Structure 1
Amino acid sequence: MKTSSTVLVAILAAALGAWGYSILTPAKVAPVEHAADKKPEKPNDHVEQDEHGADRIRISDVKLAAAGIALAEAESVTLNDTLAFNGVLRANQEAVVQVTPRFPGVAKSIQKRIGDKVGKDDLLATIESNQSLTVYELKAPIAGTIIERQISLGEYVSEQKPAFVVADLSTIWVDLSIYRQDLRRVRLNDEVLIDPDDGRGEIKGAISYIAPVGSSETQTALARVVLPNTDGRLRPGLFATARLVLGKRNVAVAVRTGAIQMLENKTVVFVREDDDKIEARPVELGDSDSKFVENRAGLAAGERYVAENSFVVKAEMGKGDADHD
């Protein structure tokens, strides 16, 4: 009996000890994968290399459009050897007419204002003569646009001052300032490319007049180009730049000047590959003008490349390269 009690006590003590050990001993915790230890997945625009070692970045058409990046095709162009000049747009003075009252009097009505287009013989104003007290009409002598008005309702007017100035703006003068050292290179009928700086490209024209005398103040001489202006694109008073074409040369492959970038000490053009990649293609350049650069090696005619805002792609490729490292 005593032996049985002793065994029972031993069993109870062992059970209690095991239960206490389980409480004091910490449970095993599964290892936690820290964010720092986890390898990041490669983003869609990470930098990779093609079989020739050129850097490429994956970038969608949507992202290109959002960044204002424009693509163009490498193509054959004509490079122009040019000489640059500054100029100003003026109304064709051979098609500008001052409209002056015939008799002094008072303006009884005014029908037109600055900017209005008029036809020949359109009524501009009516004036009551001081001499006869009769009302006579002031009409447009030509079709054109009112560019000046120096008459107000009820105002005294006379033949001493024009009431209106009407200009036919269907043609515009571009007056260029030519420095003395360049005068020997400018000839009548020479081709000139006029840029009104309105984002719509250059207009081709020709030298129609060279002034026989120069300006003592600016030490320049005037050369003039007459341009058609039926769409009203050219506005008198605004500045323009001009390029006198001295020579031309055709090249097989050329890209726009804004496409050229330097990357890792290499001259590159960003070329569209597989519709979702941009490759930094090393190129060899040749002659150039203000718009295009000849490509002698690295790019074939017909390949699409980043023509505008190429610096955005360069920055994006730099970011992708840093992530890749």
Structure 2
Amino acid sequence: MVVPEQSGRPTETVSRNAVVPAKPYPAVTVPPHDPPHTHPPHVTEPRSRRWPLLVALAVGLVIIAGVLYRQPWKATSAIVTVEVVAPGPITRVLAINGRIAALRSVDVKSTVAGTLTARMAQEGDIVQRGAVLATLDDTSQTAAVRQSIAALEQAQVAQTQAGEALDRAEALRENVSRMVLEDARHAMVRADQEVGRLRALVDQAQFLLTKFSIVAPIAGTVLKRNVDPGQVVDPSTPLFTLADLSDLVVETNVDELYATQIKAGMPALLQLTGATATQAGHVTFVAPVVDAGTGGLAVKIAFDTPQSAPVGLTVTANIIVDRQDKAISAPRAAIVTTGQDHSVFVVTADGKAHKMPVTVIDWPAERLLVTDGLKPSDRLIVDANGLADGKSVKVKER
């Protein structure tokens, strides 16, 4: 019970039976628990971040609309160009390059060794057969000729003496022995044989002396001179190249793929480099052997009319291998080759591509000769790229 004091301040009175509160313990600090997870408040994205999403969505809708419009899962017709098969004239031509060459050309060499003197023919000189092209120093051979002549003259003197002795022996036949007469006869035979031997040596020495003059074996033009005065040469050294330019041919090589189809006598059209007109010619030579190193077959083509051109000039030659008035041909792009088999596509009445096997003569040309498989009035697809048998096609109007 609280009784106010006289001072007017309240006072506390403790009853005997009242419980006195215990003295509090010191405060203990307890770590706070993690607050429960709470979602952050919703934040509205800025409007600028929505544009890429909207653009991507619009592009996707356009793509889907295009696919739905085109409907690629449905079969479409391929647009093709056709030509109606019709027999006509065809010429198979093999186009190759060759070079001008002389029909008769020789490399001139010396048959003896020696030193060349200053007298020599020049490149471009026109010479006749037997004309001197060069000379070798013949000092030693001239001396050998003189020696052989001197030996022959000495032997001739001995021959004369043996003849006189034989005449005397025969005149004195009755007064000389038979042995003396026989010896005189044998001496005369030996003298005659020696004269014959030495005369042959003189002929040989004089013949060798002529070899010190290099002469032209044929009439023609000096194309090359490979040596100079003062040079020592031997029989293996080529001195000159001589050619007859009045009769020119075209030398070329044909690939072995066509070796069995090139024959002598085939006509050809020849065009010289730098000329606009073509010249008629014909194949005159076909080598019987293919060069194993190059795989080429040597061929020579002659001009029907004589030509004047420098040796080595490039010539374009078109050899006419075959001519037919009525034959079926097809563009190379229309032919499908699988291994050794060939086929083409034709358009059927129901508008589909039909694959047909054909037999062709493969040739380096834009159109190939078809010998079997196609017939007149067939509608041939000129480009078979991307086609399949039975594919629907639509003919493109030309």
- The alignment's TM-score, normalised by the length of structure 2, stands at 0.38
- Bigger Rg, structure 1 or 2: 2
Q: Which has the higher helix share?
A: 2
- The alignment's TM-score, normalised by the length of structure 1, stands at 0.46
